[in-house]
Structure 1
């Protein structure tokens, strides 16, 4: 969906398709009909934005075949769908039975990660709407934090230089600029905006910047205004915003039985206490008895509050969007709703099938759209 900022800039609002398991091109096209088109119809919008996730094999296939890219663009156009942003964080198998730390591999010390991201950029230049100013790709914040040796930092820095050079070459060839945003996440080398300003200080900020995931921002217990000021002082642009909310609980002891329902085996749910202690997964936090309150890296639906005594970090989300949109020019014009955990929610909150999942995605997008309308109109 498109909205208009008071400055006249177009804001692109989409939903991220990493919630769906398809990883080959026929499966990707099938998921457009199963989910994206029903979501568009529920929202009664002529055009729906997708934050498309392409697993590495599909990205490589498309990057090598201009005709396949044109076919995918046609499949999108005929369904009233558009793509200005890709999610390049998961490399493959993101909806496998167990993902956990595998999502951080390959990292930015590897040729595979560089090749994958440049493949995505090549694909995106042919998927972008003709009137889109630019494309964006989100990626992991260098690597998981352990191990992270000085030699790895040096290799990653060289790969980021090669990434910027590759993006420049693609723009020269196609006339379409694409920027890549590194997404701070709990437990990673770049966990928060402070670390981002330290470890990404030397990047080419014309092509590289930050993907600000609002659930991650909340889990790091960062204040949105301070975080944005910190990035601005360093000159790091916000390339993309992931509109997401994390799980929050004031008293983990009282909520233990309910929290246990969210301790599932597929994804990591890094847990952070307001007082500093941290664990890399929710079951570890429950076993360790971290002092509350907690914020848990479990992306929860934006428009439906978790069962009490749990809550979500939508207040952080709302505050962040206010600051992102309050200036004369928006900080960012690519906003992607990224709730990939629908299938691992507690059973009584999990969609029963494709129609209910489409209902949930449409509800989240309507929430984000209405909230942005309020911010843009102020």
Structure 2
């Protein structure tokens, strides 16, 4: 969806397709009919934005051959769908039965991660609407925190320099600007705003910046105003915002039904204790309150004593879009955990999942409208 900030800037709002498992072009196109078109219809919007997730093999194939890339563009256009952002965090197999730490590999010490991200940028340059100011690609925050040493940091820095050079080459060849945002996440080399400033201080900020995931921000117990002030002071742009909410509770045993085998659910306490997964946190009986990296539907409030970090999301949106100029123009709803929600909350059919995602997007649209943004 396209919304207009009071300044006149177009804000792009969509949802991330990493919630769907397809990893080839035919499967991706089938998703458009199964989910994206029904979501667009439910929202009553002429154009729906998608934050496409393309696994590495299909990204490489699309980047190498204009024919399938053109086919994808035509299929999107025919359905009233547009793409200004891609999710380049998971490399492949993101909806496998067990993902956990595998989502952080390959990391930014490897040529594979560089090649994948540049493939995504090439694809996105061909998918961008003609009137879009720029495109964005989100990526992992360098690596999982262990192992990490000076040699690895130096290698990653060289790959980031090559990334910026590659993005400049793509812009020169296509006339389209694509920026990459590194997404701070609990447990990673870059977990907090402070770490983002420390590790990304040397990057080319015309092309590289931060992807701000609002569930991750909340799990780090950061205040949105302070976090954004620190990024601005460091000259790091917010390339993309992922609209997400984490679980929060002062009664940790109530979280047991959310402990599941597919994704890592890093847990942080208000006092600063950390566990790399929810099951570990429950075993250690960490002091409450907790925030858990478990993306939950934005519009659905869980039963007490559970709550979500939607208040942090609202505070962040006020800072990002409530001022005289927006701090970011790409907003992506990213609830990839619909398939692992507790059984009573889990959608059972494509129609139910489409209805849930449409509810999230309507919630996000309403929150932005409350800040003076218009359709």
Q: Tell me what 1:290 maps to.
A: 286
Q: Tell me what 2:319 maps to.
A: 323
Q: Encode CA deviations 1:254-308: one digit per residue, 9 max, x unaligned.
A: xx1x311100000000000000110000000000000010000000000001121
Q: Tell me what 2:9 maps to.
A: 9
Q: Tell me what 1:314 maps to.
A: 310
- Partner SS, residue 318 of structure 1: helix
Match of 2:361 among 359, 365, 377: 365
> In structure 2, how many angstroms separate the alpha carbons of the residues matched to 1:377 and 1:208?
26
CA contact (8 A) 2:3 2:373 kept: no
Summarize the alignment of residues 206-285 of structure 1 with structure 2, pairs less than 5 Å apart: 206-252=206-252, 256=253, 258-285=254-281
- Partner SS, residue 11 of structure 2: strand
- Partner SS, residue 161 of structure 2: helix
- Partner SS, residue 269 of structure 1: coil
Q: CA deviation at 1:326?
A: 2.2
Q: Encode CA deviations 1:221-276: one digit per residue, 9 max, x unaligned.
A: 00000000000010000000000000000222xxx1x3111000000000000001
> In structure 1, how many angstroms separate the alpha carbons of the residues matched to 2:14 and 2:373?
20
Superposition TM-score, scaled by structure 1 size: 0.98
Q: Which range moves more in the overlay, 340-349 or 324-333? A: 324-333
Matched, 1:99 2:95: no
Q: Tell me what 2:329 maps to.
A: 333
Give the total of aligned pairs. 374
Q: Tell me what 2:169 maps to.
A: 169
Which segments of 5 or more consecutive residues in structure 1 lack a partner in the other structure?
Answer: none
Match of 1:352 among 348, 351, 354: 348
> In structure 1, how many angstroms separate the alpha carbons of the residues matched to 2:303 and 2:78?
40
Q: Tell me what 1:117 maps to.
A: 117
> In structure 2, how many angstroms separate the alpha carbons of the residues matched to 1:163 and 1:268?
28
CA contact (8 A) 2:108 2:143 kept: yes
> In structure 2, how many angstroms separate the alpha carbons of the residues matched to 1:327 and 1:44?
27
Q: CA deviation at 1:377?
A: 4.7
Q: Tell me what 1:68 maps to.
A: 68
CA contact (8 A) 2:49 2:83 kept: yes
Which segments of 5 or more consecutive residues in structure 2 lack a partner in the other structure?
Answer: none
> In structure 1, how many angstroms separate the alpha carbons of the residues matched to 2:373 and 2:171?
34
Q: Encode CA deviations 1:101-123: one digit per residue, 9 max, x unaligned.
A: 00000000000000000000000
> In structure 1, how many angstroms separate the alpha carbons of the residues matched to 2:330 and 2:319?
15
Q: Tell me what 1:304 maps to.
A: 300
> In structure 2, how many angstroms separate the alpha carbons of the residues matched to 1:25 and 1:376?
38
CA contact (8 A) 2:4 2:373 kept: no
- Partner SS, residue 132 of structure 1: coil
**RMSD, aligned α-carbons:** 0.8
Moved over 3 A (4+): none
> In structure 2, how many angstroms separate the alpha carbons of the residues matched to 1:201 and 1:223?
21
> In structure 1, how many angstroms separate the alpha carbons of the residues matched to 2:193 and 2:174?
32
> In structure 2, how many angstroms separate the alpha carbons of the residues matched to 1:100 and 1:190?
18
Q: CA deviation at 1:329?
A: 1.0
Q: Encode CA deviations 1:126-183: one digit per residue, 9 max, x unaligned.
A: 1000000000000000000000011000000000000000000000000000000000
Q: CA deviation at 1:333?
A: 0.2
